Amino acid sequence: MAEVTPTTRDGSASARIAEAVRRAILSGEHQPGERIVQEELAERYGGSRIPVREALRQLESEGLVRLVANTGAWVQSLTMAQCSEVYQTRERLEPLLLRHSAEHLTDEVIHTLDGLAQKMEASDDIEEFLELDRQFHFATYRAEGTYVLRDLVTRLWNTTQPYRRAYTGLVDQEHMRIFHDDHHMLVSALRDGDMKLAEQIVAIHIRRTRVNLERHPEIFPDTDPDQE
Amino acid sequence: MAEVTPTTRDGSASARIAEAVRRAILSGEHQPGERIVQEELAERYGGSRIPVREALRQLESEGLVRLVANTGAWVQSLTMAQCSEVYQTRERLEPLLLRHSAEHLTDEVIHTLDGLAQKMEASDDIEEFLELDRQFHFATYRAEGTYVLRDLVTRLWNTTQPYRRAYTGLVDQEHMRIFHDDHHMLVSALRDGDMKLAEQIVAIHIRRTRVNLERHPEIFPDTDPDQE
DNA sequence: GGTGGACTGATTGCATCCAGTATGGTGCTT
DNA sequence: AAGCACCATACTGGATGCAATCAGTCCACC
C-alpha cells in the first residue's frame, strides 16, 4: 500500500507499531468499532506495551483510533454525518493541493496517471481497486517543499477508508462508469494544463462520491454512542 | 484561554500534561525551536516521563511539537511557506465551518460577537487581543453534532499561533483598522443572515492576514533545517 | 422472575530501572 | 593552528512490575 503514512519521522518501535496498526486498519484487517488490546499488539509486533501506547496516542490524534481512559482503545468508527463532513473537507482541500502540485505534473507523471486509470478500470478486485484509486489521486498530489496540506489530505483519506471499502462493494455499473470517466477527464485536463478545470473535476468527483455514500446509510453504525 | 483543546477524551496524567504543554506553547511560554526535555516536564507537572512521552506524541501529531528519534523534542517552527499553506487551508475550511454553524448563530450569539469585536478594538495588549480574536472567531464556529472540522480548524489555529503573535506586534494602525472592519462586517452579515456574504468575509479576512504575514519574512526562521 | 449490589478477572495507567544513542568536549595528530 | 578521533555525559527509548480502574458475573433480596 502506498502513501499511508502522514507523519513518520523516526524508525523507533513506537513508530513502527503505529505504522503497522495504521496499515492493519486501512487494509480492513481491523474493522471500525473493534476493540484494540494493548498487550495483543505488543506481543504481535514484538515489544512491550509502552511503544504500543505511544502508537495508539498517535493514531488517536490521526483519527483512526478512539481512546477511553482506563477502559481501552477501539478502531474509530464514523457516523454518516462525520464521514460526510470529512468528504466536504476534502472537496475544499484537494483542489487546493492539486493546484500546488501543478508544476510537478510532468508528462511522465501524466503517463503514469493514465496507466493507473486504465488499470483501475480493468480491475475487478475491491482491494486492488481501492489501492489503485489511492495511488491515482496521490500521484496527482505532488506538492513538494511543504507537506502540511498533503499530510492533512492523507489523514482525511485514512479516516474514511473503511467506508470507501464498504461502498465500493455496493456500487453499480452505471456509477462505476461515471467514476472512471471522472478519472479520465482529470487526466485529460491535466494533460492540457487546464488546472482550473482539473480542480473542478476533483471537487465534483469527491462530491459525487459523498452523495453516493449518503445514499447508503446501512454501511454506517446505527446508533452513535456518544463518541463526541 | 478558550478553545485550546482539539481532542481530549480522558482526564489522565498524559492528557493533563498534553493540555498543559499545549497551553504553554500557545501562550508563548515555549517559543518555536525551543528544546523540550522530557524530565523537566515530568518534574514540572508531577509525574514520570511515561505520560510526558505520550503527551509529546500527541502534540507531535497535532503539529505543535517536533520529535526526532533518540534525540529529543522541539517546539515546532514553521517556515513562511508552511505557515502560508496553513492559512490557505484555513481560507478554504473556515467558510465551510461557518456555514455548518449558521443555524446555531442566535441573536444572543451575535450579541456576544458584537461585544467581542468592540472589546478587541479597545484592547491594547497583544495577549488579550490574540485571545479575544480567537474567542471571536470560534464563537462563530458553533457547528454541533460532529466535530471533525472544528477540531481541524482548531489545530490549524494552534500551529500558527506563534506567528500570529509575532505579527500582531508589528502591524500598523491602518491594517488594524481594516482588521477590525472585517470583524464588524462579519457580525453585520451574520445579523442579516447573509451566510454567503459571511463566508466571503471570513475567507477574505484570512487571506488578508496571510498576505500581511508574507510581508514579514523576518518573523520566520531564516533557514529551514530539513524539518520535512 | 426481575433488579440491585458486591466480587473477581482482566486490562489499563504509571513509576522505576536499564540499555542504547547522540552530543559536546578534550586531547592527539598533522 | 586546524582538523579529526575518541571518550564522557546526558538524554532518550524500552522493559518489567505494581497499583488503580472497569466490566462482566454471580448471588441475594425484593
The larger pLDDT score, comparing residue B125 to residue A1, is at: B125
Residue B42 shares a structural domain with residue B141: no
Are B16 and B57 in contact by the 8 Å Cβ rule? The answer is no
Are A140 and A186 in contact by the 8 Å Cβ rule? The answer is yes
Residue B69 shares a structural domain with residue B157: no
Element containing residue A73 per DSSP (H, E): strand A72-75
User: Could you check: is the Cβ of residue A57 within 7 Å of any atom of nucleic acid strand C?
Assistant: no
Stretch A74-94: mean pLDDT: 96
Looking at chain A, the whole-number percentage of residues with pLDDT higher than 70 is 92
Helix axes B195-214, B80-101, angle to 10 degrees: 170
In a domain, A96, yes or no: yes
User: How far, in Å, CA of A116 to CA of B129, rounded?
Assistant: 51
Size of interface A-B (CB pairs under 8 A): 97
In a domain, A141, yes or no: yes
Q: How far is the CA of A26 from the C1' of D14 (A)?
A: 27
pLDDT value at residue B223? 57
- Name residue A122's amino acid: A
Residue B116 half-sphere exposure toward CB, CA atoms < 13 A = 22
Task: At B123, give phi and psi (nearest 5°).
Answer: -75, 140
Counting DSSP H helices and E strands in chain A, the numbers are 9, 3
Residue A112 shares a structural domain with residue A212: yes
pLDDT value at residue B9? 36
Stretch B2-21: mean pLDDT: 66
3-state secondary structure at position B176 = helix
Select the residue from B10, B38, B48, B61 to test the A interface by mutation, using most A Cβ atoms within 10 A.
B61
Last residue of a domain, one of B41, B56, B75: B75
Domain containing residue B193: CATH number: 1.20.120.530
Q: What are the distances in angstroms from CA A180 to CA A152, A215, B43?
A: 25, 19, 58
Residue A158 shares a structural domain with residue A195: yes
Are A80 and A217 in contact by the 8 Å Cβ rule? The answer is yes
pLDDT value at residue A204? 98
Q: How many CB atoms lie within 10 A of CB B183?
A: 23
3-state secondary structure at position A35 = strand
pLDDT value at residue B144? 84
Residue A89 shares a structural domain with residue A61: no
Residue A7 has pLDDT above 90, yes or no: no
Residue B38 shares a structural domain with residue B106: no
Q: Residue A52 sits in which domain range?
A: 13-75
In a domain, A2, yes or no: no
pLDDT value at residue B225? 46
Residue A3 has pLDDT above 60, yes or no: no
Where residue A70 falls among pLDDT bands split at 50, 70, 90? very high
Last residue of a domain, one of A46, A75, A104: A75
* The three grid cell numbers given for residue B139, joined into one nine-digit string: 464563537
Where residue B8 falls among pLDDT bands split at 50, 70, 90? very low
In a domain, B5, yes or no: no
| Positions of strand C less than 7 angstroms from a protein CB | 11-17, 20-23
Residue B155 has pLDDT above 70, yes or no: yes
- Name residue A203's amino acid: A
pLDDT value at residue B12? 83
Strand C contacts in B 7-26 (CB under 7 A): 10, 12-14
Stretch A195-223: mean pLDDT: 94
In a domain, A169, yes or no: yes
Residue B162 shares a structural domain with residue B61: no
Residue A221 has pLDDT above 70, yes or no: yes
* The three grid cell numbers given for residue B11, joined into one nine-digit string: 482526564
Last residue of a domain, one of A56, A75, A94: A75
Are A95 and A205 in contact by the 8 Å Cβ rule? The answer is no
In a domain, A8, yes or no: no
Are B118 and B183 in contact by the 8 Å Cβ rule? The answer is no
* The three grid cell numbers given for residue A70, joined into one nine-digit string: 482506563
Where residue A100 falls among pLDDT bands split at 50, 70, 90? very high
Residue A54 shares a structural domain with residue A135: no
When mean pLDDT is compared across A126-140, B64-78, B212-226, the lowest value belongs to B212-226
Q: What are the distances in angstroms from CA A10 to CA A3, B66, B69, B77, B225?
A: 16, 11, 5, 18, 16
Residue B86 shares a structural domain with residue B187: yes
Residue B54 shares a structural domain with residue B127: no
Q: Please name the residues in contact with A189: beta carbons below 8 A apart, sequence gap of 6 or more.
A: A195, A197, A198, A201
User: Could you check: is the Cβ of residue B51 within 7 Å of any atom of nucleic acid strand C?
Assistant: yes
* Size (chain A), residues: 228
Q: Please name the residues in contact with B50: beta carbons below 8 A apart, sequence gap of 6 or more.
A: A50, B14
Report how far apart the first and last C-alpha atoms of chain B are (Å, whole number). 30
* Nearest-CB residue to B61 (from A10, A61, A228): A61
In a domain, A224, yes or no: no
Residue B76 has pLDDT above 60, yes or no: yes
Stretch B173-177: mean pLDDT: 95
Residue B86 shares a structural domain with residue B25: no
pLDDT for A149-187, tens place per residue? 999 999 999 999 999 999 999 999 999 999 999 999 999
pLDDT value at residue B154? 97
Are B104 and B138 in contact by the 8 Å Cβ rule? The answer is no
pLDDT value at residue A223? 56
User: How far, in Å, CA of A120 to CA of A126, rounded?
Assistant: 10
pLDDT for A19-29, tens place per residue? 999 999 999 99
Which of A226, A125, A136 is closest to A180 using CA atoms? Answer: A136
Average pLDDT in chain A: 92
pLDDT for B78-113, tens place per residue? 999 999 999 999 999 999 999 999 999 999 999 999
Task: At B162, give phi and psi (nearest 5°).
Answer: -60, -35
Residue B194 shares a structural domain with residue B92: yes
Residue A205 has pLDDT above 80, yes or no: yes
Average pLDDT in chain B: 92
3-state secondary structure at position A36 = strand
Stretch A129-133: mean pLDDT: 97
At which residue does the C-alpha cell 459571511 appear? B198
Stretch B21-36: mean pLDDT: 97
Largest CA distance in chain B: 56
Q: Which residues of A134-148 are buried (b: 16+ CB within 10 A; e: fewer)?
A: bbbbbbbbbbeebbb
Residues on B contacting A at a C-beta cutoff of 8 Å = 7, 9-12, 14-15, 50, 53-54, 57-58, 60-63, 66-70, 79, 81-82, 85-86, 88-89, 92-93, 96, 100, 145-149, 152, 228
In a domain, A68, yes or no: yes
Which of B214, B216, B227 is closest to B85 using CA atoms? Answer: B214
Q: What are the distances in angstroms from CA B183 to CA A123, B114, B121, B194?
A: 52, 9, 10, 15
Q: How many domains does chain A have?
A: 2
Domain containing residue B41: CATH number: 1.10.10.10
